[in-house]
Amino acid sequence: VPIIAAVNGAAIGAGFDLANMADLRIASRKASFGETFLNLGIIPGDGGAWFMQRQIGYQRAFELTLSGRVISADEALAYGVVLEVVEPEQLMEAALAHAKRIAAQPPKATRLTKRLMKMAPDMELKPFLDVCAVFQGMCHNEPEHLEAVERLLARMKR
């Protein structure tokens, strides 16, 4: 199931790591983000170092983690930490719009696509394409796919 984080305040330390575990992050202008564990003399031991560098790259993740600085929502957007920044009163509406768009997609294909997205960074291309072929085969006989193909063919005949 895709997970969307709607961040409307300080996502600091474990809060930042929890937000980074989501598939999509939407922030209000009031949001701020910080990997501040070193400021307390401890390490980011709850997976934050693993998640963040996969999202924004090693160098940016390293700098944010070792500096312990807190960044604004706009800087988080520029870094790729968040997908979108909106006004606070629009945050839930924006997050729900993404959720509705995703929820409108075929459930099985959505679940398998998320699994592929999560698997991809740890796989070589050939075995990844083999998994894609298996997953594609699993979707070909699903009612949502068959109906979509029929709709496409009907549009092409017009």
pLDDT of residue 112: 97
Residue 9, phi-psi category: left (phi > 0), alpha (psi -120 to 50), beta (remainder)? beta
For tokens 């629009």, the residue is: 90
pLDDT of residue 45: 85
Burial of 102 (0-12, 13-18, 19+ CB in 10 A): middle
Which option is the CATH number for 4-103: 3.30.830.10, 3.40.50.720, 3.90.226.10, 3.50.50.60? 3.90.226.10
**Cα(98)–Cα(24) distance, rounded to whole angstroms?**
9
pLDDT of residue 107: 94
Contact 73, 28 (CB under 8 A): yes
**Cα(47)–Cα(61) distance, rounded to whole angstroms?**
12
pLDDT of residue 115: 96
Q: Report residue 109: phi and psi, to 5°.
A: -65, -35
Per the DSSP assignment, residues forming a β-bridge with 25 are 5
Provide the residue count of the chain. 158
- HSE-CB at 29 with a 13 A cutoff on CA atoms is 5
Annotated domain spans of the chain: 4-103, 107-157
Which DSSP category does 121 fall into?
G
Say how far residue 18 (Cα) sits from the centre of its chain.
12
Tens-digit pLDDT string for the chain (158 aa): 899 999 999 999 999 999 999 999 999 999 999 999 999 999 998 888 899 999 999 999 999 999 999 999 999 999 999 999 999 999 999 999 999 999 999 999 999 999 999 999 999 999 999 999 999 999 999 999 999 999 999 999 98
pLDDT of residue 87: 99
Which DSSP category does 2 fall into?
-
